[in-house]
Amino acid sequence: MGNVASALTLQTEETALIEELRAGSEEAFAWLIARYHQPIYSLLARTVRDRADAADLTQEVFIKVFRGVGGFHGESSLRTWIYRIALREASNQRRWWARHKQNEIGIEQEISESESGAAVRLKDLLIDPGESPFDAAAQAETRERVERALEQVPEPYRTTLILRDIEGFVYEEVAEMQGVNLGTVKSRIVRGRACLKAILSHLQDGQHPAAMRVLDVPAAEEAR
């Protein structure tokens, strides 16, 4: 009964929060941002691979939450709804990047000259955004290896692993966010973990990771 009572309390609290958000409560939005800003940023930083883009997308997510909360009718939890918006923004960003990648500027490329006439490279102008709390708390060497390996895991397996194994969502929530059935999520988790394990093994041995070999089964064979 304790679990049921706790669940009912959480549901009641969320309903009250949603009503305040719909009413335009600044305090409610401030609480929402304080609660979800870092988790959403961490998710986006891992899925779009660029922290500057992740920071911009995080702001865009909360703008969309602000504008769209009036149309949110509780079909899912508020948390799931926010993460679904974030995943959609990340997907849009990846598609944009794929279309415009040919126009990217290399970090070593000279883009101007200083007053002394010396070449200025793009990397000289970049600002280190610093580490996130997760980065600071984790053991640096292990975290760096895992994060590097995670970047090699192809989509949609990478995002599925992030949602389940890092963000801690249950399978049903992951399925709802990605718009697939439960079997597909479980399949992606199994194959994604196998892929990550293989990449970590290759990195440890100093070899080039062969991520796609683990995922030779055509994506069309996944249950939709």
- Pair (22, 80) in one structural domain: yes
CA nearest to 85, candidates 115, 51, 54, 61: 61
Domain count, the chain: 2
Residues of the domain holding 75 = 1-100
Specify whether the CB–CB gap between 40 and 61 falls below 8 A.
Answer: yes
Predicted pLDDT of residue 108: 47
109 occurs within a structural domain: no
Residue 6 φ/ψ, nearest 5 degrees: -65, -45
Predicted pLDDT of residue 139: 57
As a whole number, the mean pLDDT across the chain is 76
Which residue would you say has higher pLDDT here, 21 or 73? 21
CATH of residue 63's domain is 1.10.1740.10
Predicted pLDDT of residue 118: 59
116 occurs within a structural domain: no
**How many angstroms separate the Cα of 128 from the Cα of each of 121, 162, 193?**
15, 24, 31
Among 72, 100, 128, the domain-final residue is 100
Q: What is the band of 218 on the pLDDT scale with cuts at 50, 70, 90?
A: very low
122 occurs within a structural domain: no
Predicted pLDDT of residue 141: 67
Q: Tell me: pLDDT of 156 over 50.
A: yes
